[in-house]
Amino acid sequence: MLTQSDVERIAHLARLEIDQGESKVFSDSLSRILALIEEMNAVDTSGIEPMAHPQDVGLRLREDEVTETNRRAELQGIAPATEDGLYLVPRVVG
Amino acid sequence: MGPEAVINKSLAELSRALQTEETSSVDLTRAFLDRVDNGQGLNAFITVDGDRALEQASAADARIARGDAGPLTGIPLAHKDIFCTKGLLTTCGSKILSNFIAPYNATVIERFNQAGAVILGKTNMDEFAMGSSNETSYFGAVENPWDRACVPGGSSGGSAAAVAARLTPAATGTDTGGSIRQPAAFCGITGLKPSYGRVSRYGMVAFASSLDQGGALTHSAEDAAYLLSVMAGFDPRDSTSIDRPVDDYVGRLEQDISGLTIGLPRQFFGEGLDPEVGQRVEAAIEEYKRLGVKAVDVDMPNCSLAVPCYYVLGPAEASSNLARYDGVRYGYRAPEYTDLIDMYKKTRSQGFGAEVKRRILIGTYVLSAGYYDAYYLKALKLRRLIAQEFQQAFQVCDLIVGPTTPTTAFKLGAKVDDPIAMYLNDIYTIPANLSGLPGISIPAGFDDAGHPIGLQLIGGYFAEARLLNMAHHYQRVTDWHKQTPAGCA
């Protein structure tokens, strides 16, 4: 069961702004989803190795060599705000 | 060949007509662009660039004239708007990417470009592929061509509706919990989800990275074999791509299937299955028996818990993947904010729709301190039990067969306020994603209301050729896949 204040705390962690009305709606639906999720407890999984990846293969490594060219101008061309090759955001330090 | 003759042909037939120069790619592309333009009011496409498509078509015609063509050269295709297309809008059905023009192509798009296929347009989808009805799209719901009051399924709903309504010969899609197979079932077409790792995820906007897989929505298994032949293969740019040879999917379509055994999981035929869907699936199994296939019952009790398991893992991965949408490097940024945190919050709150927020919230919760073991780790363990259940079943059968969905297409709006009812649509499709196995949905008839019914086949790892071969044999003796919605022929 998730309360509205639980939802507001999680929303902050997820960097989402939600109003009172939304936190009410989300606390209802999330509580029902958590009840569904808790059906997992019907199965004993003790001693079972967690499965993070369908083929259980490790990540590949590649040679440490340059494969990409510099595309800064092109990549920054789709950014909301840039200046002198930097991404602009609101001031973080005084 | 006139436009009417063109639109009802299979991709394989169109390919032959192009090779023999009975038609040209420019003519084909024009015929389908006209269909898309008029669109039948389905809202199946988000972006169409006719000029660019016709340029690609002329290039394809030149290639055919040079004698340098492959089977897909000159074939127009629609792509789910989750695949990055250089210079063309890629929205993923979201406001937050509503202005995003990708600076590169997804590997899938690159491969189709190299094969000489034409990009007809980008299809509508549930926002970030989170949905089973296409109603979560920022660009509005898609209608089901078989019944305009019904959903086409999702999340690849635009692709499925476009293929069913003959707006495109075939389309791509992605499947994280059923997003190719479920809309294929609802729209009466063929939908193939390959094994995890078979098709590159590079440039495919990430939802749940350990579950997402690109695939094909087509009129037939034969057409899907042509698409997969181009899509499949190792890609060093996808760290989970599997380096193993690609089978001859087209060449193996006719392979003998007599003597094979299909396994029928009890859990796929129990409570919640609509009786009309159950009857059509039973009839399809009888059809397979007439083709010399044996059927055995298998028991897969943990599959019943696939939905709860998925609603931990999918949202957990989504909440991490979607952290990248911060309004800094690309996409939407809120017009007004006070500081950096406020900019993130306002950008994300305005940019994401309700279902995406819901999944981010679930994911954030199950990964948060104190809950990780109870939810996330528990789900990963259950995931292994489900995967093991398939491997046990494959000891006694070659393929798993059952319904794709518990019901046929439901009414638009019927489940938007009930996430759990919506999630349960994917009860038969999710197990294959959790296990990483390939699955296909093929048309197996209609209910009394005229809504299509899908039959699902699930194979062992990298058994795509066998799945397509089994589906093809069924389609040789049935004509469900050749039916066209009223007004779309």
Burial B397-436 (b: 16+ CB within 10 A, else e): bbbbbbbbbbbbbbebebbbeebeebbbbbbbbbbbbbbb
Q: Determine contact, residues B12/B110, Cβ cutoff 8 Å.
A: no
The architecture that CATH gives domain B3-260+398-482 is: Alpha-Beta Complex (3.90)
pLDDT tens digit sequence for B429-475: 999 999 999 999 999 999 999 999 999 999 999 999 999 999 999 99
* DSSP three-state, residue B388: helix
**Residue B258 in contact with partner chain A when CB distance is under 8 A:** no
Distances (CA, A) of B120 to B56, B63, B78, B88: 10, 18, 5, 11
A31 is a domain residue: yes
Model confidence at B39, pLDDT cuts 50, 70, 90, reads low
**Residue B86 in contact with partner chain A when CB distance is under 8 A:** no
Question: How, if at all, do strands B261-265 and B294-298 pair?
Answer: parallel
A35 is a domain residue: yes
Helix boundaries (H) for B436-484: 464-477
Mean pLDDT, to the nearest integer, of B155-178? 98
**Whole-number Å distance between alpha carbons of B270 and B187:** 24
Nearest residue on chain A to B378, alpha-carbon basis: A45
Residue closest to B165 by CA, chosen among B476, B391, B437, B487:
B487
- Tell me phi and psi for residue B456, to 5 degrees: -105, 135
Distances (CA, A) of B131 to B151, B355, B448: 11, 8, 26
Q: Determine contact, residues B266/B297, Cβ cutoff 8 Å.
A: yes
pLDDT at B57: 98
Mean pLDDT, to the nearest integer, of A53-75? 86
Cis peptide before B441 (omega within 30 of 0): no
**Residue B345 in contact with partner chain A when CB distance is under 8 A:** yes
| CATH number of A28's domain | 1.10.20.60
Contact at CB, B340 and A13, closer than 8 angstroms: no
pLDDT at A68: 86
Contact at CB, B378 and A10, closer than 8 angstroms: no
Residue B384 above 80 pLDDT?
A: yes
Q: How large is the ipTM?
A: 0.96
**Whole-number Å distance between alpha carbons of B78 and B146:** 20
CB proximity under 8 Å: A 69-88 to B:
71, 74-75, 77-81, 87
Model confidence at B1, pLDDT cuts 50, 70, 90, reads confident
Model confidence at B203, pLDDT cuts 50, 70, 90, reads very high
**Residue B378 in contact with partner chain A when CB distance is under 8 A:** yes
**Whole-number Å distance between alpha carbons of A78 and B331:** 7
> What is the number of structural domains in chain A?
1
Kindly tell me the burial class for residue B468, based on how many C-beta atoms sit within 10 Å of its own C-beta (0-12, 13-18, 19 or more): buried
pLDDT at A57: 72
Mean pLDDT, to the nearest integer, of B407-416? 96
The string of DSSP codes covering B324-351 is G-SSSSSS---S--SSHHHHHHHHHHHH
Which residues in A lie closer than 8 A to residue B194 (C-beta atoms)? none
Mean pLDDT, to the nearest integer, of B305-323? 97
A14 is a domain residue: yes
Nearest residue on chain A to B325, alpha-carbon basis: A15
Q: Which of B213, B362, B424, B433 is the best substitution to test chain A (most A C-beta atoms within 10 A)?
A: B362
Q: Which of A2, A27, A28, A37 is the best substitution to test chain B (most B C-beta atoms within 10 A)?
A: A37
Domain that holds residue A38: 1-42
Contact at CB, A29 and B419, closer than 8 angstroms: yes
Burial B354-373 (b: 16+ CB within 10 A, else e): ebbbbbbbbbbbbbbeeeee
Nearest residue on chain A to B418, alpha-carbon basis: A29
Residue among A32, A53, A80 whose CB faces B210 most closely: A53
Kindly tell me the burial class for residue B128, based on how many C-beta atoms sit within 10 Å of its own C-beta (0-12, 13-18, 19 or more): buried
pLDDT at B106: 98
Hey, which residues of B are catalytic here? 80, 155, 179
* Percent of chain B residues past pLDDT 90, beyond the cut: 95
Mean pLDDT, to the nearest integer, of A23-29? 95
